[in-house]
Each structure stands twice: as C-alpha cells, then as structure tokens.
C-alpha cells in the first residue's frame, strides 16, 4: 500500500495511524504546487481532486477521503481498538465525530489558512471555528481522548487540525489567527497527543521540526 501525502496537511492523520499500528505502507510525497510526486508522477492521475490523502493498494485501486482511509487502516488491526467494531453504536459515534472534524473544523479552517484571499470573510469564519473548538474543549473536560478513555483515529485527525492553529513546527506553513490559550482541556489533550511516539515519528518523517 502507498499513502500519498503533503507535509503538515491533513494526510498527517492517516500517517499517524500507520505509525501507531506499525503498518507496512510506503509514504509518497506530493508537491502542493505542482501536484507531482518526487518521482515526477502526475498526482491528478491518482486522485482527480488533487488533494491528499490517497491510499493506493497494490493492485492500483485507491481509497480517498481521510475519514474513510483512517477507518480502513484501523480495521486492519481491530485488536488495537483505534476504531470501535463495525456495526456498533460506538462506531457510528466515531463517524459522527469524524464528520464534525472534517466538515466543521477542517473546512472551517480554510478561510483562516488563506486569510488574504478570504478577506472580510475571515471575521465570519473565525468566531464559528472558535465556538467549535470551545465545544471540543468542553467535550474533553470529562475524557482523556475524544471518544472516551482510549486513543482513536479521531484524536489523530483533531491533533493535525489543532496543530494548524498553534504548533511551532507548523509556523512556516500556516499563520492562522486562532489561539487555544483559554481552552485548558484542549491544551492538556494536545500535550498528551504530543507525547505519543507515533505522533512524534510522523511529524519528523514529514520533515517538520518537532
């Protein structure tokens, strides 16, 4: 299998899951501007949307969309519990959280990441995003991880999205005007994420300073 990624982007989430589980997946870097791999492959031929992540199987077929990819990866080692079992209510709760992260947080970030182009719209987008992070902060007040007492794929995804707002190792990539200083539960959770070996190794493997 291959995972197509761009450093510091949302593809860091499946990258973390690969390292958490010790899966045998080749990492293929895609250039954000040219949409070519380091070997010169045209990434649009692999994913017509041009965005990462894409998981490619040995027979050439692909799985797109980060929320589907992390679930597929975690299902390869169900005993590790990075996703609840398929068909259970807990699995749907995880999917609810992944949907929220994807549509409300991830895409809610876009105007802040491209603030110059977004212009005044940033002033509409920022309070919405802050409100959603405040909700996550409250949610984390009574649990160590997003879905309860154990790490799941949702934590890896939120870790990447939270990093866009504050991580020093991302400063050269993203300059967003969102801060989490008042969100103590989110801060504490973020600190726990940073301590995970798979998180540190994934960040370093993408050529980012930890």
Ligand X SMILES: N[C@@H](CCC(=O)N[C@@H](CS)C(=O)NCC(=O)O)C(=O)O
**Contact with ligand X (CB under 6 A) among 3, 4, 6, 154:** 6
What sign results for the dihedral spanned by CA atoms 195, 206, 81, 22? Answer: negative
Cα angle 193, 175, 18; round to 5:
35
Contact characters 82-111, ligand X, x per CB under 6 A? --------------------x---------
CA–CA separation, 115 and 175 (whole Å): 9
Specify whether the CB–CB gap between 166 and 158 falls below 8 A: no
* Cβ nearer to ligand X, comparing 37 with 150: 37
Interface with ligand X (CB under 6 A), residue total 11
Q: What is the DSSP string of 126-162?
A: HHHHHHHHHHHHHHGGG-SBTTBSS--HHHHHHHHHH
Do strands 62-64 and 26-29 pair parallel, antiparallel, or not at all (unpaired)? unpaired
Closer Cβ to ligand X, 6 or 129, answer by number: 6
Binding mask 151-190 for ligand X (x = CB under 6 A): ----------------------------------------
Nearer to ligand X, 38 or 79 (CB): 38
In the complex, minimum distance from the CB of residue 36 to ligand X, in angstroms, rounded to a whole number: 12
Our finding on whether 193 is near ligand X (CB under 6 A) is no
When asked if residue 9 is in the footprint of ligand X (CB under 6 A), the reply is yes
- Residue with smallest beta-carbon separation from ligand X: 51
Contact call for residue 137 and ligand X (CB under 6 A): no
Q: Using the rule CB under 6 A, give the single segment among 6-14, 77-85, 138-146, 173-181 that binds ligand X.
A: 6-14
Question: How far apart are the C-alpha atoms of 207 and 204, rounded to whole Å?
Answer: 5
Q: % helix / strand / coil in the chain, to the nearest 5? A: 55, 10, 35
Cβ distance to ligand X smaller for residue 66 or 108: 66
Q: Spell out the residues 6+ positions from residue 146 whose beta carbon is closer than 8 angstroms to its own.
A: 97, 136, 139, 140, 152, 154, 155, 158
Contact characters 46-75, ligand X, x per CB under 6 A: ----xxxx-----------xx---------
Interaction site with ligand X (CB under 6 A) = 6, 9-10, 32, 50-53, 65-66, 102
């Amino acid at each position: 299998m291959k995972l197509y990624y761009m450093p510091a982007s949302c593809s860091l989430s499946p990258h973390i899951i690969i390292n958490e589980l010790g899966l045998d997946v080749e990492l293929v870097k895609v250039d954000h501007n040219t949409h070519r791999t380091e070997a010169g492959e045209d990434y649009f031929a692999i994913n017509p949307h041009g965005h990462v992540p894409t998981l490619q199987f040995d027979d050439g077929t692909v799985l797109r969309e980060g929320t589907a990819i992390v679930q597929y990866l975690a299902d390869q080692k169900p005993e590790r519990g990075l996703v609840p079992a398929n068909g259970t209510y807990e699995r749907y709760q995880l999917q609810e959280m992944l949907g929220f992260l994807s549509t409300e947080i991830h895409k809610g970030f876009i105007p802040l990441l491209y603030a110059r182009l977004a212009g005044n719209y940033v002033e509409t987008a920022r309070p919405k995003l802050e409100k959603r992070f405040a909700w996550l902060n409250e949610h984390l007040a009574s649990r160590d991880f997003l879905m309860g007492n154990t790490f799941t794929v949702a934590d890896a995804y939120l870790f990447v999205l939270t990093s866009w707002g504050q991580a020093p190792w991302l400063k050269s990539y993203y300059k967003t005007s969102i801060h989490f200083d008042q969100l103590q539960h989110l801060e504490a959770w973020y600190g726990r994420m940073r301590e995970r070996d798979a998180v540190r190794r994934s960040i370093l493997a993408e050529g980012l300073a930890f």
